């Protein structure tokens, strides 16, 4: 069983190396084969390591940028992080063509680790309305998403 400090280190590695650097090989190393995602809103869940990899690769292509870890805490097998993503809208997103506009999002991520020290469950939250406003979607239209 991994410790809370080990789980925090794994999540930091995931965010810094996979999200920021694009080291896709970390999926097999850090994500449980039975991974379950519990996304907020109308985001399609990524309920296995390959679907999760594809989801992150797509995000990085659509909004290339960097993730900053603002704070991270852990208790038992659960790690919570407050994050900031800064990027540029360079790919189609929910039918919205690339605008080239910068984005800055605050996100919350919660990851539960299994007995092998792998991410087994994930929950994520971010402000979709703020994202849509930053890429230029009028408020009246943003509510349809």
Residue ranges covered by each domain of the chain: 4-142
Whole-angstrom distance, CA of residue 77 vs CA of residue 102? 35
- pLDDT, tens only, 132-143: 999 999 877 777
Q: What is the dihedral of CA 48, 57, 118, 108, to 10 degrees?
A: -100
Residue ranges of the chain with pLDDT lower than 50? Answer: none
The pTM of the whole model exceeds 0.95: no
So what's the pLDDT on residue 104? 97
Report pLDDT for 18. Answer: 95
Output the pLDDT for position 145.
66
The beta-strand segments (E) located in 1-145 are 31-39, 65-75, 78-88, 102-113, 119-126
Q: Would you identify the CATH topology of the domain 4-142?
A: Nuclear Transport Factor 2; Chain: A, (3.10.450)
pLDDT of residue 140: 78
């Amino acid at each position: 069983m991994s410790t809370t400090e080990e789980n925090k280190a794994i999540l930091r590695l995931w965010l810094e190396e996979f999200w920021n650097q694009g080291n896709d090989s970390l999926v097999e190393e850090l994500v449980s084969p039975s991974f379950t995602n519990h996304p907020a809103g109308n985001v399609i869940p990524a309920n296995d390591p390959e679907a999760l990899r594809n989801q992150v690769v797509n995000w990085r292509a659509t909004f290339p940028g960097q993730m900053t870890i603002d704070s991270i805490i852990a208790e038992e097998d659960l790690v919570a992080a407050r994050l900031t993503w800064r990027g540029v809208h360079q790919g189609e997103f929910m039918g919205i063509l690339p605008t080239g506009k910068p984005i800055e999002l605050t996100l919350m991520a919660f990851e539960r680790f299994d007995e092998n020290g792998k991410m087994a469950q994930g929950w994520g939250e971010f402000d979709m309305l703020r994202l849509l406003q930053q890429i230029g979607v009028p408020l009246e239209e943003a509510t349809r998403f």
